[in-house]
Amino acid sequence: MVWDEPVPISRDQARATYLAVKRSEPLEGDVPEVAKELPGEVTLYPGHVLVTMDLDTMDEMSAQVFTIARAHGLVCYDPQRDLVHNVAPLGVYEGMQLHTGDGMIVYDPDLGLVHDVLATLSPQNPFVALVNFGRHFLQVSPGYELEYKEGTLIRTMVPELAEVRQAFNEYATGDRSFLARHEWT
């Protein structure tokens, strides 16, 4: 579902908005420009556009919906993954990609999305990576093994999700403090 929000919102706020809108009646009539660009079947609600997609094409279509929403300055909530894509704040690397082991790829992810996605590590989502192709990347797998590559691949284990989130936030914002804070091999 996509809609306008004046400031970034939390996943809980996005979920509550989605559920409230789903309880309301869809609209008939003129289709907003953004809805014409969205793939899949769209349903209009007051101030909101719901995109319905099948599971087979969900990853590809979700990426398209997010890209279109971002281009229009709109929030995008993915109820299947329970994740919200805000317009900002972004990391410092233009074109940075967020990859997950369950198939999600997001270009220029907002920092809140990165934070939330890290909590989804599981056997069904065996890694999360922030990638700046041709330059460097930071990746984590369940058990909190961090891998960083900028020339040479190095690894470390961290004890808590909070440490992983801090390292990913630092990496995305151009801060390399996580490298000095851990023992790497």
Encode pLDDT of 13-32 as tens digits. 999 999 999 999 999 878 88
Q: Specify the pLDDT at position 55.
A: 83
- The residue among 69, 86, 103 that closes a domain is 86
Considering the domain architecture, whether residues 8 and 98 belong to the same structural domain is answered as no
For residues 35 and 54, membership in a common domain is answered with yes
**Mean pLDDT, rounded, of the chain:** 94
If asked whether residues 27 and 50 sit together in one domain, one would say yes
CA distance 4 to 2: 7
Does the structure show a pLDDT above 90 at 60?
no
Q: What is the pLDDT of residue 125?
A: 94
Q: Which of 86, 102, 117 is the last residue in one of the domains? A: 86
Res. 48 pLDDT band, cuts 50 70 90: very high
Report how many domains make up the chain. 2
Same domain, 16 and 61: yes
Same domain, yes or no, for 92 and 181?
A: yes
Query: Do 92 and 170 lie in a common domain?
Result: yes
Same-domain status, 68 and 138: no
pTM for the whole thing?
0.91
- What residue numbers bound the domain in which 146 lies? 88-185
Q: How many CB atoms lie within 10 A of CB 36?
A: 9
Last residue of a domain, one of 38, 64, 86: 86
- Report residue 9's pLDDT band, with 50, 70 and 90 as the boundaries: very high
171 sits in which H/E element: helix 161-172
